[in-house]
Structure 1
Amino acid sequence: MQYVVRPEKPGGSVSYGGVFAFTVATPGRYRIALGSGAWIDVLADGKPATSVAHSHGPACTGIRKMVDFDLGAGRYVLQVAGNGTADLPLMVTKLPA
């Protein structure tokens, strides 16, 4: 796995990761929801965005981790590192203003 930038917490030699791109059309607060406790980085022009909130998903939903970011319009790269399995439920959504 080759990341755009080295993850802050890359995981061990048997962890899994991935790189995904997404586009923000409307600036605002966006939530990344994961089905595991994997590490994520959201990058704009190769620089990490700063998260503004962290939480756990609701009980019995399969969502384990949620991280919020204030993002402007543009293209972003989402890096996932340190996941325990080769697959991972993942969602990016804009939160209501």
Structure 2
Amino acid sequence: MASLLPTPDIIYAAHPAKPGASLSNGGIFAFNVRTPGRYRVVLGAPAWIDVLNGTTPAVSVAHDHGPDCSGIRKMVDFDLKPGRYLLQVSGNSATTLALMVAHAPTSISAKI
């Protein structure tokens, strides 16, 4: 669970595409990518996210939501190279947010 601050109290590395209202909350979180590939940002509530390499936003390659009753509200995939990234969250109504960044499969195959 990540703690968020009121939006006016945050100095973002790059202006969020959707910063939210003055009463919304957000935060900045750092993560490292060691292996190139697809990474998924998962949120437990609605919010806007930006993944930055320095101040350059990464381009999302897929969007989805989790299964009903899963607690997963939003999933956004990015193809990332090794390096340090910032995850900027904005526009959340609560002061806490379940979030995760994980290496994501590029395809799913099943054996029958």
Residue number in structure 2 paired with 1:32:
41
In structure 2, C-alpha distance between the alignment counterparts of 1:6 and 1:45, rounded to whole Å? 12
Q: d(CA) in 2 for partners of 1:51 and 1:45?
A: 16
Q: Partners of 2:67 and 2:82 in 1: how far apart?
A: 29
Q: Distance in 2 between matches of 1:47 and 1:3?
A: 12
Q: Does 1:9 align with 2:18?
A: yes
Aligned residues: 97
Structure 1 residue 96, shift from structure 2 partner: 2.5
Runs of at least 5 residues in structure 2 that lack an aligned partner in the other structure: 1-9, 107-112
- TM-score, normalised with respect to structure 2: 0.84
The superposition leaves residues 13-53 of structure 1 with CA deviations (integer Å, 9 ceiling, x where unpaired) of 11000000000010000000001110000000210000000
- Paired amino acid for 1:19: I
Higher relative contact order (CA 8 A, sep 6+): 1
TM-score, normalised via structure 1 length: 0.97
Segments of 4+ moved more than 2 angstroms: none
CA distance in 2, matches of 1:23, 1:84: 27
Q: Structure 1 unaligned runs (5+)?
A: none
RMSD: 0.7
CA distance in 2, matches of 1:65, 1:56: 5
Q: Identity, % of aligned pairs?
A: 62
AA aligned opposite 1:11: G
Q: Tell me the SS of whatever aligns to 1:54.
A: strand
Q: 2:83 matched to which residue of 1?
A: 74
Q: Which amino acid aligns with 2:79?
A: D
Residues of 1 paired with 2:56 and 2:105: CA distance? 26
